[in-house]
Amino acid sequence: MEKRIAFKMKLKQGCKQEYIKRHDAIWAEIAALIKQSGISDYSIFLDEETNTLFGVQKQSGGVSSQELGSVEIQQKWWNYMSDIMEVNPDNSPVTKYLEEVFYLA
């Protein structure tokens, strides 16, 4: 069963261009892991007024991209991104899942 989820994360002040640069050159292993986990149609938007990142993705594998922390390459990606985002002690992004309150297909 496919479902859509949304979540928000926080980018550190002044890190927009670096965030874009790193995602423009996303590691092939990370992209493959995300796709193999059943995640598709994945977008991240930035609210520059608050430095809030807003992610939306479709899931058919039962996990979100934020739940792949047991995979070594995901841990390396989180470590790589930890200097420009708000992170938890394991360097995973601080993530707040959002409730869908409206959808028009």
Nearest CA to 81 out of 64, 65, 96 is that of 65
Catalytic residue check, 91: no
What is the separation of C-alpha 97 from the centre of its chain, rounded to a whole number of angstroms? Answer: 11
Catalytic choice (3, 4, 21, 23): 23
Cα–Cα distance measured from residue 93 to residue 74, given in angstroms and rounded to the nearest whole number? 11
Annotated active-site positions, please? 23
